[in-house]
Copies of this chain bind each other. A is one copy, B any other.
């Protein structure tokens, strides 16, 4: 391709309303343009990237035995009423009426439509498992679209839905999809983690999110430094510290701590490590009673874990200070487990401490040298905290690291939520009608493009992983309009490279070298050659990889072979 036939729409200025780097760079490099809030046009350069992602996704889905279909964007309300989501789904569901005042919606997801299809087509267990997918523009009426295509109102999605006669078959396909996703993101050259996820409101029994690691991510991901283990921080198990709890070594003593409200205050006041203190939070129990949650001073309560405990009300409600003072005789900042006559739930790490410091349940007093069993008794010991970096990995291999991640894929074991509501059943081998079990598997195809940029860029612009690059190679002839030698070498080499199957962009614009260099760097093309009179006089072409600090000279006669090797790496 030649830039003279290709819309290069780079911009120097960073657009004012673009908050994240991928949004800024996609606008500046001319990949997308905003039509309205959350609605973007993909320009030719951006669309080439999007199509590369799409093709990798399609190839791996096909290889995993999924079958591609194309379902309508416009969906009748009746199906959503049948599943119960017409009422449940929030205003993100763009509801519309046709000219006959019939209700429809623009599908953000297709569980209902695919279940309707499959319940009509599939009658026997012999036709299962069946895994149908599509790559389609979805619409979601975001209240506040932002971050460019990362949270937009239209986006390209791969959504797949599998149908099974039993849970074992679902689990097999779920594993295939897990594997396919791993292939996809590996082929795309992204640093990612499949992350154990909370199944949240979708229901179902198992779920993994696939996250691209990037500083700008919205989620905290905890993962092992020496195994495949990864989970959302909220989901990662904080395992009990190894070894026995030390025996008590100090006597318990009460001391006045005027003005001390927080663990920080306490550690500073006594010159001690926060990890040798405990803090006591008071929550409402299932019956409305008060329950104490005791954590190590340097740890944070994990709401999701706490809510899952039978004794704790869900959603978690922490008690008001007035209520606490009335019941326990002291306010926040002076609470502790000693002498409490309410249920006490102790985090595993807090339970492993000896000779710790805590509130005395008397305002502005604390206790030092406190020991479990001797001075107070834990009601139960549970995992109720967020993991922190350095915690042992729950799978027993290595330690946890925590990084931010951008969710680009999600796989779910849906179970029978939709098939039950919509009566999708088959006959099993005994001729008995059984409700189909379902899985669903999404990839935010357009989101992958933004996530790749968040992970791969520098101050000059985008650095595409090779599999996603709009072109593999940029070819910049200097002074082409005046130098016959440069023009003819460029033309000849361009034809050679095309014949060699290299996807090359020849920058034949009549622009200054600086403009061309800046554009090729901004647009993130992984390899660049420069053809100029000076190097050419000595039979050389200049080469520079997008991540290289310096360029180097390669003899003209070796350049095609050289580039082929570079591109294979």
Contacts and interface: CB of A to CB of B under 8 A. Distances in A.
A520 to B, nearest CB: 18
Contacts of A466: none
A153 B96 CA distance: 14
Contacts of A200: none
A249 interface: no
A103 to B, nearest CB: 11
A72 B154 contact: yes
A338 interface: no
A18 interface: no
Contact of A71 (B5, B41, B99, B106): B41
Contacts of A106: 74, 106
Contact of A141 (B6, B91, B98, B132): B98
Contacts of A91: 99
Given A35-B76, A36-B76, A69 B47 contact: yes
A74 B73 CA distance: 12
Contacts of A147: none
B73 A73 contact: yes
B72 A41 contact: yes
Interface string A61-72: 000010111111
A192 interface: no
Interface in A346-403: none
A94 B96 contact: yes
Contacts of A86: none
Interface stretch (A116-124, A280-288, A322-330, A551-559): A116-124
A39 interface: yes
Interface string A118-153: 001100000000101000110101010000000001
B120 A33 contact: yes
A65 B44 CA distance: 12
A500 interface: no
A434 interface: no
Contacts of A517: none
Given A7-B67, A94-B98, A99-B143, A72 B35 contact: yes
Contacts of A73: 73, 137, 139, 154
Interface in A66-100: 67-76, 91, 94, 96, 98-99
18 contacts: A7-B121, A9-B121, A33-B117, A36-B76, A36-B104, A39-B72, A40-B72, A41-B70, A41-B113, A44-B69, A47-B68, A47-B69, A72-B154, A73-B73, A74-B139, A98-B141, A99-B141, A99-B143
